Amino acid sequence: MQLKRYFIIFSLLLPTSHLAFADGHYPDGAEGIKGATLPPPGVYTKWYNMYYTSDTVKDQNGDNSNVSQNLDTFATVPRFIWISNQKIMGGDYGINVAVPFVNVHLKTQDINQSKFNLSDILLEQVLGWHLDQWDFSAATGVWFPVGNFNPSEAVNIGKGFWTGMFTAGATHYFDKEKTWHFSALSRYQTNSRKSGIDIRPGGDFLVEWGLGKTLAQNWNIGISSYTHWQVTSDTGSAVNYDASAHASYYAIGPEISYFYQPAQTSFEFRYQKEFAAVNYTEGHKLTFSFVVIF
């Protein structure tokens, strides 16, 4: 398997090098312990700040590979959200757009390079339902490949392909006061061919989940996790590696959030450590985000 050529082809928000596997757009771990719960009708800005660091690349057996690298990525991503009063199938209809700016620093035996620029943009439509002990959500989105991508470059900010993303999730509240909650949010991504190189990345499926407790109405604490599996193989004439060796990885860690009512602003902080990676980097991720209600 020719790791060296492909692990340095970077893109978007995703906090890792991808060995040309598990190459969808969505940044795992962006949502936390109530990730499947959408807000009520209104206008919001959610601003994500995500930092990822890794010095480990796992091979197809889950063992440390012979690839030596240090990778640091940072993404700052404003997401503009509008939830309307329009109902579709009983759910609140909304749209949102996420505009990521990404910095990547990669150091290997042969490369020491940093890049910062606008990356690929997400446009998404959503539905949210709110019941007594349950919240449900569903969404369809498209990632537009507006970020710079050149297959001959070692480091790229854009991915060079389109991604269709389909999302469904639910949050369950264990008590009538809704202080204990468990949330799971699943996504499937299907990708187009890359620009300038005949590779179509395989589809991938991921789940984010969180278990949390609300304290004093304004605080939430708990644990959050993400899991990611490549479910179909890469295709194309430029695939000169074992495309049947799919990628997978897992992460878990603590989370805390606080809603500051006078400013109508909430703040989230989470740390997640990756483990059991296959055909992927394995590292640490910090996410700080805030939501402003207008």
Provide the CATH number for the domain formed by 3-293 in this structure: 2.40.128.130
- What is the reported pLDDT for 69? 83
What distances in angstroms separate CA 136 from CA 30, 243, 244, one per listed residue? Answer: 18, 35, 34
- For residue 229, the Cα-to-chain-centroid distance in whole angstroms is 13
pLDDT in tens, 185-235: 999 999 999 999 999 999 999 999 999 999 998 999 999 999 999 999 999
| Residues 241, 2 contacting (CB under 8 angstroms) | yes
CA distance 265 to 101: 22
pTM: 0.90
Q: At 3, is the pLDDT very low, low, confident or very high (cuts 50, 70, 90)?
A: very low
Instruction: For the chain, list the strands marked E by DSSP.
Output: 42-58, 69-88, 91-98, 101-108, 112-118, 121-130, 134-144, 163-173, 180-191, 204-215, 219-230, 248-260, 265-278, 280-293
Gyration radius from the chain CA atoms: 19
Confidence check: pLDDT of 15 > 50: no
Mean pLDDT across the chain: 90
Q: Which of 47, 51, 45 is nearest to 13 (CA)?
A: 51
> Hey, where are the domains in the chain?
3-293
